[in-house]
A and B are shown apart, each in its own frame.
Chain A
Amino acid sequence: DVKVTQSSRYLVKRTGEKVFLECVQDMDHENMFWYRQDPGLGLRLIYFSYDVKMKEKGDIPEGYSVSREKKERFSLILESASTNQTSMYLCASSLRPALSPTQYFGPGTRLLVL
C-alpha cells in the first residue's frame, strides 16, 4: 500500500511566523504535490515537484515555497504566515504520467493562523 504521511494533523501558528509542513511518501514516486482545500473552492494546487530539486508553480503559489532535497520528502514553507492561509493542506504523490495518473493523498494538515 502506498503511504503518504504528513508531519502534523493540526497546527496553530501566529501571523508572521514561518511554517514548515512536511510530507513523506514511501513508494518511490517521482511526483509530489501540495494542495490546499477550502470549502466551496475544492483542491487548489500550490506547487508540485517532478524530481528531486525540481519544482513548478501551481495555481496559487503566492506566499508559499517548497523544497525537495530527497525523493521521498516534499516540504511546504509559509514564509510569513497570514490569516488567509488558514486551511487544510494536503500532500499527494504519484508515479510519472506515462505510468499512472493516480495521486495518493496524505491525511492532511489543518493549519490555523491567528
Chain B
Amino acid sequence: QKEVEQDPGPLSVPEGAIVSLNCTYSNSAFQYFMWYRQYSRKGPELLMYTYSSGNKEDGRFTAQVDKSSKYISLFIRDSQPSDSATYLCAIGISSGSARQLTFGSGTQLTVLP
C-alpha cells in the first residue's frame, strides 16, 4: 500500500462548478498537509498547507483535513478555466529528517469554459 493515495482523475468540470480533490494516507504520524498545483510543463507550486484537522480557507480554495480518517480534501469553489492543472497532495512529518514530504500521484483537473 502506498503511503499516500490520490484519486488519479482526470477530472473534467464546467466553469463555476465546485471541485473536490481527495487523498488518503496510511501513516498516522503525518503532521502536516499540503496541496500543490502544477500547470502543464511547469514545476509544482504550493497552494495551501495546514497542520491541524478541520478546514482552512483561502479565497476560493478550502483545504480540509480529517486526521481520524486519514483523509484530506481540497475544494475549489466557482472553478475557473485557469484552475486547470494537476493538483498534488503532499503529506509530511515534522522530524529531524530533511526528507519531509510524501506526494500523491496527482489529479489532473480540466475546467471547461
Type the 1/0 row for B79-94, where 1 means its CB is closer than 8 Å to any CB of A.
0000000001010101
Give the A-B contact count at a CB cut-off of 8 A.
64
We find that the number of chain A residues with CB closer than 8 angstroms to chain B is 29
Type the 1/0 row for A96-110, where 1 means its CB is closer than 8 Å to any CB of B.
111001111111101
**Closest residue of A by beta carbon distance from B99:** A48
Q: Is the CB of A108 within 8 A of B42?
A: yes
Q: Is the CB of A42 within 8 A of B101?
A: no
**Closest residue of A by beta carbon distance from B104:** A42
* Residues in A neighbouring B29, C-beta threshold 8 A: none
**Closest residue of B by beta carbon distance from A108:** B43
A94 near B: Cβ within 8 Å?
Answer: yes
Q: A42-B103, A102-B34 are in contact. Are A107 and B97 (CB under 8 A)?
A: no
A22 near B: Cβ within 8 Å?
Answer: no
A81 near B: Cβ within 8 Å?
Answer: no
Q: Which A residues have a C-beta under 8 Å from some C-beta of B?
A: 4, 30-31, 35, 40-43, 45, 48-50, 56, 58, 90, 92, 94, 96-98, 101-108, 110
Q: Which B residues have a C-beta under 8 Å from some C-beta of A?
A: 6, 8, 32, 34, 36, 41-46, 49, 88, 90, 92, 94-101, 103-106
Contact sample, A vs B, 16 pairs, CB 8 Å cutoff: A35-B103, A42-B105, A42-B106, A48-B99, A56-B99, A58-B99, A92-B43, A94-B100, A97-B94, A97-B95, A101-B32, A101-B101, A103-B100, A105-B36, A105-B44, A106-B43
